[in-house]
Chains A and B, each alone.
Chain A
Amino acid sequence: MSANAPGGMAALERVERPRPPSAFSNALVFGWRAVLKFKHVPEQLFDLVMTPLMFTLLFTFVFGGALAGSTDNYLQYFLPGILVQTVVFNAVYSGMGLSTDLGKGLFDRFRSLPIWPLAPFAGLMVGDVLRHLIAGAIILAVGLALGYRPEAGFLGVAAAFAVLVAIGFGVGWIFIVLGLLIRTPTTVMTVGFTFIFPVVFASNIMVEPQTMPDWLRAFVEVNPVSLMTTALRGLMGGGATWGEIGLALLAPAVLTAALAPTTLWLYMRR
């Protein structure tokens, strides 16, 4: 060691690798990263909550009376749907975040570490789930303040949130794949919303499909977003069937089965 070296260079003595951690432990570390992001970038919650909040208020008070006779009736109909919409929109932001990370070379470091390769994505998902829960809770609170009453009670709401997290998890893979494929974050957002807007609006989130033309109604009735919304309405308002819940979870299950391996392949291809 030359004399001008800093005194702390003792830290550069040989340090051996500890016992390799489990895949689960790797994933938890990335989850911790997501939590730190909330601490350092609390603004992200603002983006996350403002859009659905605006939707809730505008739709309820501007269209509510015309669509459902009264704003109270409409809120009762609309609130479970806006939760689904929030989760789906949130997933777009998470894809953008991934694309930003990839552009910075951060993932090159993760990729050159001897860790479970899917761990960074599992961590992203942990962050997403937290985001979904926080945004969902805020929207529910606003809904309750405005007069929304979940007739199925606390258990119904808890079950609805569990389904919501599963939906967010499944849909999240779409935008992780887009984030891996597209290197400009704004393009991820543009492409994401281009797909998401028609799928979200051509659903039963805002209105019942009876007045729509046949061809559109046919789509709306099989649109996974409609199936998710129907299940959430049932869970929160009472009267959900297992069949409805199963249909709502079908798309997230298929997406996970198909896109988790795709993610791994896209990430590890070199």
Chain B
Amino acid sequence: MNEAPRAPQMTQAAGDAPPAIVARGLVKRFGDLTAVDGIDLDVPRGMIFAILGPNGAGKTTLMRMLATLSRPDAGSARIMGHDLVANPDAVRAAIAMTGQFASLDEDLTGRENLVLLARLWGFRGRRARARADALLAAFELAPAAGKQVKDYSGGMRRRLDIAASLIVTPGVLFLDEPTTGLDPKARQGVWRMIRGLAGSGVTILLTTQYLEEADQLAARIAVIDHGRKIAEGTSRELKAATGSGFLHVALADPAQREAAARLLAARLGAEATPSVEGAELSVMAGSAEAASAAIAALIAEGIALSDFSLGQPSLDSVFFALTGHPAEPGGGAGENGGQAT
């Protein structure tokens, strides 16, 4: 990661305006499965807030509840001051949601999709077309405006999908895994759009399974697992809980792996885990100094390295540090033990 985390964009107009999202004890069950198991959230206005968790953690279910698409079985929430259950229409007028799967009409052109939504919001005739064109330009889609959405690339679809959520500036924009399935260039493009939006004062709640995405975009991150919030804080706070960087080393000779693992564990005081292919080792390093000392020690022992890097902890390592189990569905441990996902 080469960019510092974004500072929160606090454009709170008045100190007494209700926060963007206040949720208390939200629960959603599907039969025997408790998908969301008592989650509290506080998201101030103008912030990018990320919900980080593995597949099946309950992220999408939580977001669908907050966007009035799914009714909570227990708990309550207020979005922009409106009660989710008592006044869903007021909530709908204040939010927009871009779901995980493109919510666009593939047969229509990009422009027609936006004009359709603009008319549904109440823009008439020329104003609806003008709104659509302004959004197409803002999302760099003007050249493709007349093409059917089924001919769009993944990145273009995602941008159009987000544009479709901005016909009327929402108080809160929900983005469910906005970059899942995109290539790195398209991902950068979507990230730029999201930052631009936050810059214009929109509160954004996004879900992601990528620590990097949460780190790049969000001022605060809630980590959820098995339907519960297991940690919340800034990216820096979460990483501090994990111990800072991870040292990854690639061995020139895989036969030396055992020896290298023993040495690294002894130097850094943490277990070194081999990669799936077996020729790499990852170990929590604590600091850059400790990592470079460990590398020097490996070389001094005659263990040749083909590559090494000091990287951020992965979502897996954050999870491991927070929960003691990897970010794999069904690997329940601790207080969530035995709970299926």
A residues with a Cβ closer than 8 A to B are 1-2, 4-6, 8-21, 25-26, 29, 32-33, 36-37, 40-41, 101, 104-115, 119, 270
A36 and B69 in contact, given A104-B106, A109-B97 (Cβ under 8 angstroms):
no
Residues 148-191 of B, flagged 1 when their CB comes within 8 A of A and 0 if not, give 10000000000000001011110000000000000000000000
User: Do B116 and A29 have beta carbons less than 8 Å apart?
Assistant: yes
User: Do B121 and A11 have beta carbons less than 8 Å apart?
Assistant: no
Asked if B197 lies at the interface with its beta carbon under 8 angstroms from chain A, I say: yes
Chain A residues positioned under 8 Å from B127 (CB to CB): 18
Chain B residues positioned under 8 Å from A104 (CB to CB): 101-104, 106
- Give Cα distance in the complex from A172 to B3, angstroms: 55
Chain B residues positioned under 8 Å from A114 (CB to CB): 89, 92-93
Q: A6-B139, A112-B67 are in contact. List 5 more A-B contacts (CB 8 A).
A: A15-B169, A29-B116, A40-B108, A109-B99, A112-B68
- Give Cα distance in the complex from A40 to B103, angstroms: 18
User: Do A40 and B107 have beta carbons less than 8 Å apart?
Assistant: yes
Chain B residues positioned under 8 Å from A10 (CB to CB): 134, 138
- Give Cα distance in the complex from A37 to B108, angstroms: 7
Chain A residues positioned under 8 Å from B139 (CB to CB): 6, 8
Q: Which residue of chain B has the shortest Cβ distance to A44 in the bound complex?
A: B107
Chain B residues positioned under 8 Å from A12 (CB to CB): 138, 166, 169, 196-197, 200
Q: How large is the interface on B (under 10, 10 to 19, 20 to 34, 35 or more residues)?
A: 35 or more
B residues with a Cβ closer than 8 A to A are 64, 67-71, 89, 92-93, 95-97, 99-109, 112, 116-117, 119-124, 127, 131, 134-135, 137-140, 142, 148, 164, 166-169, 192, 195-197, 199-201
Number of A-B contacts defined by CB within 8 Å? 136
What is the CB-to-nearest-CB distance from B66 to chain A, in angstroms, rounded to a whole number?
Answer: 10
- Give Cα distance in the complex from A13 to B169, angstroms: 8
Of A10, A25, A40, A114, the most chain B CB neighbours within 10 A belong to A114
Contacting residue for A112 out of B97, B116, B131, CB 8 A: B97
Chain B residues positioned under 8 Å from A6 (CB to CB): 137-140, 192, 196
Chain B residues positioned under 8 Å from A37 (CB to CB): 107-108
Chain A residues positioned under 8 Å from B195 (CB to CB): 2, 5
Chain B residues positioned under 8 Å from A106 (CB to CB): 103-105
- Give Cα distance in the complex from A106 to B97, angstroms: 11
User: Do B108 and A33 have beta carbons less than 8 Å apart?
Assistant: yes
- Give Cα distance in the complex from A112 to B66, angstroms: 10
A112 and B137 in contact, given A12-B166, A12-B196 (Cβ under 8 angstroms):
no
A15 and B168 in contact, given A1-B199, A6-B140, A111-B69 (Cβ under 8 angstroms):
yes
Chain A residues positioned under 8 Å from B148 (CB to CB): 40
Q: Which residue of chain B has the shortest Cβ distance to A41 in the bound complex?
A: B107
What is the CB-to-nearest-CB distance from A36 to chain B, in angstroms, rounded to a whole number?
Answer: 6
User: Do A16 and B168 have beta carbons less than 8 Å apart?
Assistant: yes
Q: Which residue of chain B has the shortest Cβ distance to A269 in the bound complex?
A: B71
